[in-house]
Structure 1
Amino acid sequence: MTEENPVLITRDGPVVRAVLNRPHRRNAMSQALVEALDALLAELKTDTTARVLVLSGAGGHFCAGLDLTEVGAVETPEEKLARQHARNQKTGARFNAIAELPQVVIAAVEGAAYAGGLGFVTAADICLASADARFSAPEVRRGLVPAQILPWLVRRMGRSEAARLCLQGHVMDAAEAARCGLVHQVLADAQTLELAVQATIGDILQGAPGALAETKALLAALGPVSPPEYAEAGAQSFARRAASPEAEEGIASFKQRRKPSWMTA
């Protein structure tokens, strides 16, 4: 399927909306999608007229994480290791870029927010979700590791809740996500979610642009999300696991809708 617009970007005055637009894949992160998102983030970094960025997904889902069909591409072990290392480095940098924007970032979540999609949720300043939203870090079930999302989950939820989410690999509903601090507010449906987004934008726009940006800078100055060496260690860890037989089996079982071998042995 041709994807001419993997991210739909619109602007209404100071408010920018970015809709992840791969509904046939639950908005999983393809190379084209992340390149389009990275280009937007680079523009917004120096845009003094934009004040709010709303991230959402098309087709009733937010983001299902990394596109596993691309992870499973045919290549040599060395090529796979190098590609996954570079890809995971960029993933970590992308979350940082979202968090460091001078604009206030709102994640509006419907349906699935899985794996790397959780990174977008936690790098955003505010997360609003519909009651049907679901959250999961299923990487270990695919033979992978939640390398770059882990420190962001710890920051938002605390280490204990993040550990449970990443190690258990289960699906968390919106009510539980709110209890854990992953989500700030749960709305009944898509319509009330949009109303809440609009109300939140209205509140934000009452703040002075410079004061909002400076407040975000002060929040960042409280300390990094992870130690300086973590991003590289995480990228190396993800690359090793993505190039491993476990990941090959985990991704194959996911595509084939069957249990992986470690559950059937």
Structure 2
Amino acid sequence: MSTDEQAPLLVRRDGAVVRAILNRPARRNAMNAELVGQLDALLAELAEDRGARVLVISGAGGHFCAGLDLAEAGTPLPPEEKLARQLSRNRRTATRLATIAALPQVVIADVEGSAFAGGLGLVCAADIALASAEARFAAPEVRRGLVPAQILPWLAHRMGRSQAGRLVLQGATIGAPQALATGLVHEVLPDAAALAARTAAVVADVLQGAPGALAETKALLAALGDPVPGDYAEAGAQAFARCAAGGEAEEGIAAFKAKRQPAWASIPA
């Protein structure tokens, strides 16, 4: 369990409850290699930990997670190395989301502020998603010249294919009320304090359940149908790698960093 306040992932344990706090507030908790490495290590531990019964995922500094750290993703590399790195990164993303969903613990996403792109995937892979009223949600990948490869099936599973399709194709940000209406989150609370109190209450509810019965119930839910078709994860990784290593992503990420419109964007009159 991490006690270093400068660590990119803070892990706190109180009995059967584990809290994983994404801790890069200056970057709105965007996921770089160090952060996801520590998160993956925690998930591997929890998969074998029958003493832990609840995992709460949240973000530091008033935001949940802005998704992939584009500063790291946009690092100049030779084309073949860039393609290989993007392919590996996206495969790990697929594994991470599947691992979260398959944990024997009940996973709760506690969402304040931005939950974008890969951060949105974390929300949808969780069993229960709670948000504060000011939370915002987006899948802006196409606006960066990228594709929402591994989060798409999880979005479709949570929201339905039509709503997920609109979210990823339009690329616009939605607020908490719309996220609630479309099934993206289960409950919206007025503010951060109310969210913290509600999360605590939901944790207390979950702890009333028998640990073995909860784990078996999660397994039965999974048996109803895998959100990700058998060959999708690899196809998604290949598509992401192609786009991420291409010219559109280079322009999209550069435009994002410069806070300007990318070359392909046009605003209707």
Aligned AA (2:128): I
Could you tell me which residue of structure 2 aligns to residue 25 of structure 1?
27
Could you tell me which residue of structure 1 aligns to residue 177 of structure 2?
175
- Where in structure 1 do 4 or more consecutive aligned residues deviate above 2 Å? none
Alignment match of 1:87 (pick from 71, 86, 89):
89
Could you tell me which residue of structure 2 aligns to residue 159 of structure 1?
161
Residue 115 (structure 1) aligned with residue 149 (structure 2): no
Aligned AA (1:62): F
Alignment match of 1:233 (pick from 232, 235, 240):
235
Structure 1 residues without counterparts, runs of 5 or longer: none
Q: d(CA) in 2 for partners of 1:33 and 1:102?
A: 22
Aligned residues between the structures: 263
Structure 1 residue 208, shift from structure 2 partner: 0.4
Q: d(CA) in 2 for partners of 1:4 and 1:177?
A: 32
TM-score scaled by length of structure 1: 0.98
Alignment match of 1:58 (pick from 57, 60, 66):
60
1:70-107 superposed Cα distances (whole Å, 9 cap, x missing partner): 11111011111000001000001000000000000000
Structure 1 residue 159, shift from structure 2 partner: 0.3
Aligned AA (1:262): W
Structure 1 residue 263, shift from structure 2 partner: 1.7
Structure 2 residues without counterparts, runs of 5 or longer: none
Q: d(CA) in 1 for partners of 2:260 and 2:111?
A: 28
Q: d(CA) in 2 for partners of 1:163 and 1:250?
A: 21
Alignment match of 2:9 (pick from 3, 7, 10):
7
Q: d(CA) in 2 for partners of 1:208 and 1:263?
A: 53
SS at match of 2:149: coil
Within 5 Å, give how 1:118-197 maps onto structure 2.
Answer: 118-197=120-199
SS at match of 2:265: helix
1:184-238 superposed Cα distances (whole Å, 9 cap, x missing partner): 0000000000000000011000000000000001111111112111000000000
Aligned AA (2:9): V
Structure 1 residue 9, shift from structure 2 partner: 0.3
RMSD in angstroms over aligned alpha carbons?
A: 1.0
Q: d(CA) in 1 for partners of 2:129 and 2:67?
A: 17
Residue 201 (structure 1) aligned with residue 203 (structure 2): yes
Q: d(CA) in 1 for partners of 2:258 and 2:190?
A: 34
Aligned AA (1:82): A
Q: d(CA) in 1 for partners of 2:110 and 2:119?
A: 12
TM-score scaled by length of structure 2: 0.97
Alignment match of 1:210 (pick from 209, 212, 236):
212
Structure 1 residue 264, shift from structure 2 partner: 5.4
Residue 40 (structure 1) aligned with residue 47 (structure 2): no
Structure 1 residues 17-26 or 3-12, which shifts more?
A: 3-12
Aligned AA (1:258): R
Q: d(CA) in 2 for partners of 1:250 and 1:159?
A: 26
Q: d(CA) in 2 for partners of 1:184 and 1:225?
A: 18
Aligned AA (1:74): P
Q: d(CA) in 1 for partners of 2:265 and 2:217?
A: 48
Could you tell me which residue of structure 2 aligns to residue 222 of structure 1?
224
